[in-house]
Amino acid sequence: MTVRVRILAGAGPDTGLGHVTRCHALAEALRTQGADVTLETADPEWVEGAIGLETEPFGTRPVDLIVLDRYGTSAQERADLKAQCRKLAVIDDHFAPPSEADIVINHNLYGDPDRYDVFPGIQVLAGTDYTLLRPGFDALRNRAAPAEGRILVALGGGAYAAKGIAIANMLRSTFQTGVDLVLNAAMAKDASGVNAGVRIVSGSEALDAMAGATIYVGGLGVAMIEARALGLFLIGIPTAANQDFAVDWAKANGFPVLTGIPESDAEFRALADAVRTGLSRGRDLPAKPDGTGAATTASALLHEVS
């Protein structure tokens, strides 16, 4: 019997695209393993315009499994979802799964399953074995390291993304090396004030640019995880209060983290110093995660509802 799955992802100008990106990876892995999957968002038109991904509006179809990846849902909303499925899985970044969850997925670099011991009765899928990376990372990891250091700037698909232009311009003028700036498709069309030598990339181009880069400068969400999977030196810029765990992980593993979006001369100098460190170190492979986490997570989820 075909397992029916609905995946509900947060996405929007304020939320960004990290949730829907990782959920798309999970959806594809589940489909590959024979599940009937719908990926749902609040604003499918915005998502398609931003990254060309087709999603469906939030629905109420009864299914075997619902995967919830949205912040700020109420207890009533989760109760309603629970009534629509046999099991409810929640993607959690903060070691605080809701009581309605049957399964918790923490795919982050800091995802420690032992921290969920205080939540008895929940099936835990946590750590880099379950990291949800987009299809094709195995091929990207096999590419040769770039001959020259390149820098990738990515501040997500939300409100901070446009601030990356100033960062990319500064890095290009300081180091005279190639700089790629990730913007979603809609922002890329309207981008202005970008210096020569800064290339704007989006969609699949962004993954190609990441595979050819040496240093990642940006938010500490899904893009940072992807960069680490490709062995890039990380320079974190917190773009949301909920990235505290990622900040701690980056610092503990020797990667610099800025206090916020650089705006003053002193802050830009601190970023330049961090880039110099990264250029001297280069890429570091093999690195975890290895790109198999979406398939591993899909298998575990299907086992839970089989």
Q: How confident is the model at residue 187 (pLDDT cuts 50, 70, 90)?
A: confident
Given a cut of 90, whether residue 249 has pLDDT beyond it is yes
Rounded to an integer, the average pLDDT of 112-139 is: 93
> Using CA atoms, how far apart are residues 81 and 63, in angstroms rounded to an integer?
10
pLDDT tens track for 263-305: 999 999 999 999 999 999 988 877 889 889 999 999 999 999 9
63-72, 155-164, 277-286: least confident range: 155-164
Residue 157: predicted pLDDT: 62
Residue 103: predicted pLDDT: 98
Given a cut of 90, whether residue 160 has pLDDT beyond it is no
Given a cut of 90, whether residue 136 has pLDDT beyond it is no
pLDDT tens track for 89-110: 999 999 999 999 999 999 999 9
Q: In the chain, what are the domains?
A: 4-132+290-305 (3.40.50.11190), 137-281 (3.40.50.2000)
Q: How confident is the model at residue 159 (pLDDT cuts 50, 70, 90)?
A: low
Question: Which is higher by pLDDT, 190 or 212?
Answer: 212
Q: What is the pTM of this model?
A: 0.92
Question: Which is higher by pLDDT, 15 or 36?
Answer: 36
Residue 107: predicted pLDDT: 97
Q: How confident is the model at residue 158 (pLDDT cuts 50, 70, 90)?
A: low
